[in-house]
Structures are given as structure tokens and as C-alpha cells.
Copies of this chain bind each other. A is one copy, B any other.
Amino acid sequence: MAKLIALYKQPEDKAAFDEHYFNTHAPITKKIPGLKEMNVTKFVGTPMGKESDYYLMCEMVYESHNALKAGLKSDEGKASGKDLMNFAGSLVTLMIGEDVDE
């Protein structure tokens, strides 16, 4: 399994972010070939009761690193990447990860 993780910093306008994220960006992203699972987490704070550094995280699971790469290179992957950069280019951190079996 390979995962693409998108971490979004706190947006200035949370309502506008949510509107675009859930109604436009997520539907585009879900069409990427090879995407097996997409899990979204919204952060509500820290254990110390402060605002968290990040607002939202999305985990996108693929069968393998090759499947992830192929997904990103597909037309749907490019459309998702273009939309991402337009609405949240300055907020997002993208990382590729692997599950660790303990």
C-alpha cells in the first residue's frame, strides 16, 4: 500500500475552503484511477487546547507506489493537481507514505 497525504494549513476563510474542497476538489480527486480509499480528517485542536497547525488532512490510498504515480499522471490526477494548486496551493503540503507493520 502507498498513500498520498495532503495536509492543509488553517485557511483564512474556512467556509469558502470547505465549499470548494467538498463540492469541487474531492469529487475531482475521487475520479483518479487506482485510488482505493480516500479518508478525510478535520482537525479540531491540540491536546493542549490550542488551535492545531493544520485544518484538514486527506489520505489517498493506492495499491502500490507505481499505482499512485500512474494515478497522479492520469488526466484525472492532473485535473485534481491543477484544482489543488488553484484553490489551496499556499496551504497544502503533499507527502507520499507507506504503512508500517509493527
Residues of A within 8 A of B (CB): 3-5, 7, 22, 26, 38-48, 52-54, 56-57, 65, 72, 93-100, 102
Contacts and interface: CB of A to CB of B under 8 A. Distances in A.
Nearest to A81: B47
Interface of A is mostly: strand
Nearest to A52: B95
Contacts of A4: 47
Nearest to A4: B47
18 contacts: A5-B41, A5-B43, A5-B57, A7-B7, A41-B98, A42-B98, A42-B100, A43-B95, A43-B96, A43-B97, A44-B65, A44-B96, A46-B95, A47-B72, A48-B94, A53-B93, A54-B95, A56-B100
